[in-house]
Amino acid sequence: MVSLNVRAYSSSSLDTKTHQRLSYTPHRTTPKLPNTPLPSPPAITTTTFKSDIVISSPKQDVRGTTCMGYETWLPAPPKVDNPRSIYNAASLAFIGDCIYELYARRHFLFPPLNIEEYNDRVMAVVRCEAQDAMLRKLLNDKVLSEEEIDIIRWGKNIGSAAKTRTKKRAGVAVYNRASSFETLIGYLYLTNTKRLQEVMLKLGFVADGPPT
């Protein structure tokens, strides 16, 4: 609990009846003050309010378990017991794309670079060709469970008739596998962030502070 001290003026301390308008004469450069004495300054009261705001400091950094002193760094996902019963594969790919890029941006945060270099490095790993390579690495190394492989198959069925520049450049097969990868990332984000962290570590992304 945090106590906040608030200084406020008491309205009862102002005597509005004794307040008079300042007389004004066009030939004067400043208004003439009235002869009546000015009211005394208002009294100041102090009121203490209780707040439910809890201010916490970051915990001590422990390599491999925290990021910059905090145990978690991703935004908390919505509580969904079975995402497949609520969302379609495109929805999971939508959020998975964002989460994957967040990992990529965090990975290249060290050492400090200019914005153009940041963007170049991140774009190199978030493009669909790189996502396709990431997925093939997970499959070849037999990292994924049967459930996760089933999510990948589900993600390949994302229907998109749009002829985007990316799909034209990489090809439909690569584009679809990249969508499957994003679907898996989105699914793990909603269901098991610890497992998501394990998968991203297998792909070489940093887990805590600056890479060594």
How far, in Å, CA of 178 to CA of 50, rounded? 51
Q: For the chain, what's the residue count?
A: 212
Q: How far apart are CA 1 and CA 13, in angstroms?
A: 32
Catalytic: 52?
A: no
185/199 Cα distance (integer angstroms): 9
Cβ pair 126, 104 in contact under 8 A: yes
Q: What is the C-alpha separation between 99 and 78, in angstroms, rounded?
A: 14
Angle at Cα 126 formed by Cα 122 and Cα 128, nearest 5°? 150
Which residue among 15, 97, 132, 141 is the active-site one?
A: 97
Contact 178, 136 (CB under 8 A): no
Contact (CB, 8 A) for 183 and 154:
yes
Residue 12 tokens, joined: 């009862």
Please give the positions annotated as active site: 97
